[in-house]
Amino acid sequence: MSDTGILTIISGFSGVGKGTLVKKLLENYDNYALSISATTRQMRVGEKDGESYFFLSKEEFENRIEKNDFLEYANYVGNYYGTPKSYVVEQLKQGKDVLLEIEIQGAMQVKKLMPEALTIFVMPPSANTLKDRLVGRGTEKKEVIEARLGRAVEESQGIENYDYILVNDDLEESTKRLNELISLAHDASFRNYNFINKIREELKVFRKEI
Amino acid sequence: MSDTGILTIISGFSGVGKGTLVKKLLENYDNYALSISATTRQMRVGEKDGESYFFLSKEEFENRIEKNDFLEYANYVGNYYGTPKSYVVEQLKQGKDVLLEIEIQGAMQVKKLMPEALTIFVMPPSANTLKDRLVGRGTEKKEVIEARLGRAVEESQGIENYDYILVNDDLEESTKRLNELISLAHDASFRNYNFINKIREELKVFRKEI
């Protein structure tokens, strides 16, 4: 229905495969665009500006902060990372459904600025599945596994703030389901006020013309 | 995901084909149950108690009103009509997705009592399509057409209160889409608190056990 794109915020547990899911969605359907982050960190070998990241100087980045051009940003270990708003808005206007893969704090910041965004949290089929993935082949140190499980517990806070959960059991199935979730979100009433009003006004005209 | 059924409230313009859509959904998928209304009007030839309606005496109906066993009810031309709550709740518990076809006032009453219900408004592809259906073959009196168009304008108020609109262009396509809307509603976070809590608690236990 609605012609404007939808911003979909995708979060989920580390190791749950949400990156692969997003990649698959971009491969299988052509109505999606990936939100590209901006950063002030050094470009690495193999990276390209505007693909992996938009690479900005510290000054440029802070200028954009001033101009409110970030949906969210943060500073990690001396480098800025953020989601440029103008890029996302431009893609949405062109009718692209924009995918933003981001952790929960960033997600909630974006949701505040764009409350119409769709939010999805990717889950494992069971805690056991996730544990197996995090523990790995048993060759990891106890501290590493402890840290990973601690992080998973942290990541599990606030799942209720997301619109939908998506259980990533089978990659093909989950990709299809993710696409359906976004596709059907276009039919939400609040995204179709123009269409609803148009029909309402036309019916009034017809009644007068009888 | 969630094992409990979902109550889906379906409204829409007269003549838009929502009855056919509901019938088709019940035919094509076996997870649905139709909400059956109760009434105090006389049973007609060919009707069966518990199929077309639950036929109640005035006393029985008023008893049930006292016991708050109606999701909504109204009195038309001396007869009561209502949606029995116990029947809907029983079907939902059994995991059935219950369909309730009802006009907007009734829909909003039900939504107040069961805010977790999914609400869908069936729309024509355009006002022109609806007009053509309402005007018919041009053999109707002006007053009849006027009344129908007036009703359509009335029905168009409050569409924004529904969760989704469903454009009924092609019956097969719309039936599929309606099924998807209800199927995906099962993945809404608020319908999966048990699953979310279970995973969260299990992860905490795993962390302690390391």
Q: Hey, is the C-beta of A144 within 8 angstroms of any chain B C-beta?
A: no
Residue A99: HSE in the Cβ half-sphere, 13 Å Cα cutoff: 26
Of A153, A200, A206, the CB nearest to B204: A153
CB B152 within 8 A of CB A210: no
Q: Would you say the C-alpha torsion A137, A143, A146, A152 has a positive or negative sign?
A: negative
Torsion angle of C-alpha atoms A32, A33, A35, A38, degrees rounded to 10: 170
For residue B137, the 8-state DSSP code is: T
> A30 phi and psi, to 5 degrees?
-105, 10
Q: Say whether A156 and B130 touch across the interface (CB within 8 A).
A: no
A2: confidence class by pLDDT, cuts 50, 70, 90: low
User: pLDDT tens digits for B130-181?
Assistant: 988 888 777 788 888 888 889 999 999 999 999 999 999 999 999 999 999 9
Lowest mean pLDDT among A61-70, A134-143, B67-76, B88-97: A134-143
∠ CA B1-B5-B8, rounded to 5°: 110
Chain B interface disruption, residue of A122, A165, A173, A205, most B CBs within 10 A: A165
Alpha helices in A71-192 (DSSP H): 85-93, 104-113, 127-135, 142-155, 171-185
Q: Hey, is the C-beta of A154 within 8 angstroms of any chain B C-beta?
A: no
pLDDT at B52: 87
Question: What is the least distance, in Å, from the CA of B40 to any CA of chain A?
Answer: 35
CB B166 within 8 A of CB A187: yes
Q: Say whether B188 and A131 touch across the interface (CB within 8 A).
A: no
Chain A and chain B share a number of CB contacts under 8 A equal to 134
Chain B interface disruption, residue of A194, A206, A209, most B CBs within 10 A: A206
User: What's the mean pLDDT in B71-88?
Assistant: 95
Which residues, in sequence order, are bridge partners of residue A122?
Answer: A12, A166
Residue B37, token pair as written in the block: 């209304």
